[in-house]
Structure 1
Amino acid sequence: MQVSVLASGSKGNAVYVEMDGCRLLIDAGISATRIKKALAALDVDAATLDGVLITHEHRDHIAGLTTLSKWYHLPIFTRRATFAHMSCRAQLPVECLQPIEDGFRLHGVQIMPFSTSHDAADPVGYRVQGSKCMALATDLGFVTASVQAAIDGADVLVLEANHDPEVLKNGSYPWPLKRRILSNRGHLANSDAAWALARLRKQPEKVFLAHLSEENNRPELAQDTVQGILSRQGIALDFAVASQTETVSMVRN
């Protein structure tokens, strides 16, 4: 299994997952050219992707989708309401659209979408299960019981640690935006990510802290906050902080 976060943050998101020979892209929120180059740096031809999984319709998750689909005609999987609310919906090849509701299999890998609490039409995270398991949960205001269950047992977890509430409250964002981020349909705070990890019954081998705010967080602050809470619970995890500009990867045999 390989998990590579190609980009993560408010300017664009894309995660590459390879498991048991199945190659997936979760979100395409950066340019198709950048996705192609980032995959090439991993010795992966973008044309060999088996599918693109979209979490929700916000631009930082679909910005490169139109060009990517025109270049490679890849199957695109997401909820019907997400397709309906995409700004680029009319530009996507009809034959590429694969609406999903429940779990499905793709080249021997089980893919389970799970609902998240975010201000989008029908946002989801994904659990990808084969010989190993990875889960991705970003863009969520809080961790519901169903999200907690969906991320439990993952060998690799990509989890949002978007902001520090005090940094956000004292920052320059207008109050309506602050209120949106802090709401149950906004983004996950560092401490909330930590407590979600603390509640896991099975500890993952690797955790990527993802979707960090450039203004309301810092990589060292996110990691220190999460590790501090976990250490007080007697939990030690292997962390990496995802980047907006650089690929961060892990490979497990």
Structure 2
Amino acid sequence: MQIHVLASGSTGNAIFVEMNQTKLLVDAGISARRIKNSLDSLGTRVEDIDGVLITHEHHDHVSGLTTLLKKYRLPAYANPDTWLAMSCRQALPDECCLSFKDSLDIGEMKIEPFSISHDAADPVGYSLYCGEIKCSVATDLGFVTPEVKQSLSLSDVVVLESNHDLDMLKKGSYPWPLKKRIMGNKGHLANTDAGWTLARLPRKARTDVFLAHLSQENNRPDLAANTVGGILAEQRIKLGEEITLHLTYPDRIAGIK
């Protein structure tokens, strides 16, 4: 198994997951060239990707999709409302645009989408299974519902939003309507939300967690790690043993094998 967050943040998002020779991308919010170059650096050809899973239609999750599908004819999966809301949909090859409503199987992986709370048409996170291994992705969500908590539970790897520090956001330069949107139930998770979510999750003996979609304006990697890690430590969760935190970045790859 290997999971690499190729990019994460408001400027673009893409995650590469490989389990038992099945290779998937979750989102394609950076250029197709950058996706190709990133995969090349990991020893994977973009032509060998078995599918692209789209969480929602916002630009920072689909900006590379048009070139990726036109040039490489990769199959892409999204729910029907996401396809309808996607501004680039008319430019995409119809045969590459596949819809789902429930779970689907791609190669050796079973994929189960789950609803998340965000200001998009029908946004989802994903749980990816291969044998006993489970990887879950939940970024761009305003709060953690019981369904999300259940979907993240007992994962070997979790990619979870840790978007902003609440004090930085409140005191920052964003206009109030944008601050209100980010803090709302259909906005983005604060560092403290991510920390308490992880602290309360049913877990396996060891879990790797990627803190994702960090705001460049209203957060810092060290602050996210310290806030989340502090909450976990207060709850007597052993960092580096029970939960290992990994930071993600908009401009470089973060991953595990």
TM-score tier by shorter-chain length is over 0.9
TM-score normalised over the length of structure 2: 0.97
Residue 233 of structure 1 and its aligned partner are, at CA, apart by 0.3
Alignment of 1:138-149 (within 5 A): 138-149=139-150
Match of 1:48 in 2: 48
TM-score normalised over the length of structure 1: 0.98
Is contact 2:57-2:83 (8 Å) kept? yes
Is contact 2:5-2:14 (8 Å) kept? yes
Which secondary structure state, in structure 2, belongs to the residue aligned with residue 238 of structure 1?
strand
* Alpha-carbon distance in structure 2 between the residues aligned to 1:68 and 1:97: 12
**Counterpart amino acid of 2:250?**
Q
Alignment of 1:54-73 (within 5 A): 54-73=54-73
Residue 201 of structure 1 and its aligned partner are, at CA, apart by 1.2
Which of structure 1's runs of 4+ aligned residues deviate more than 3 A? none
- Structure 1 residues 143-191: Cα deviation after superposition (integer angstroms, max 9, x where no partner): 0000000011110110000001110000000000000000000000000
Alignment of 1:35-114 (within 5 A): 35-114=35-114
**Counterpart amino acid of 2:123?**
P
Residue 205 of structure 1 and its aligned partner are, at CA, apart by 2.3
Q: How many residues in Structure 1 have an aligned counterpart in Structure 2?
A: 251
Instruction: Tell whether 2:234 aligns with 1:226.
Output: no
Match of 1:248 in 2: 254
Residue 108 of structure 1 and its aligned partner are, at CA, apart by 2.4
**Counterpart amino acid of 2:255?**
S
**Counterpart amino acid of 1:103?**
S
- Structure 1 residues 44-73: Cα deviation after superposition (integer angstroms, max 9, x where no partner): 000000000000000000000000001111
* Alpha-carbon distance in structure 2 between the residues aligned to 1:80 and 1:199: 33
Match of 1:177 in 2: 178
Match of 1:207 in 2: 209
Which secondary structure state, in structure 2, belongs to the residue aligned with residue 173 of structure 1?
coil
Q: Percent identity?
A: 53
* Alpha-carbon distance in structure 2 between the residues aligned to 1:239 and 1:231: 12
* Alpha-carbon distance in structure 1 between the residues aligned to 2:108 and 2:209: 24
**Counterpart amino acid of 1:167?**
M
* Alpha-carbon distance in structure 2 between the residues aligned to 1:235 and 1:33: 40
Unaligned stretches of 5+ residues in structure 1: none
Match of 2:117 in 1: 117
Match of 1:20 in 2: 20
Residue 38 of structure 1 and its aligned partner are, at CA, apart by 0.2
* Alpha-carbon distance in structure 1 between the residues aligned to 2:147 and 2:207: 21
**Counterpart amino acid of 1:239?**
L
- Structure 1 residues 116-148: Cα deviation after superposition (integer angstroms, max 9, x where no partner): 000000000000001311000000000000000
* Alpha-carbon distance in structure 2 between the residues aligned to 1:232 and 1:112: 32
Which secondary structure state, in structure 2, belongs to the residue aligned with residue 87 of structure 1?
coil
Which secondary structure state, in structure 1, belongs to the residue aligned with residue 82 of structure 2?
helix
Unaligned stretches of 5+ residues in structure 2: none
Residue 200 of structure 1 and its aligned partner are, at CA, apart by 1.1
* Alpha-carbon distance in structure 2 between the residues aligned to 1:195 and 1:110: 28
Is contact 2:19-2:108 (8 Å) kept? no
* Alpha-carbon distance in structure 1 between the residues aligned to 2:207 and 2:153: 12
Match of 2:134 in 1: 133
RMSD between superposed Cα atoms in Å = 0.7
* Alpha-carbon distance in structure 1 between the residues aligned to 2:2 and 2:34: 19
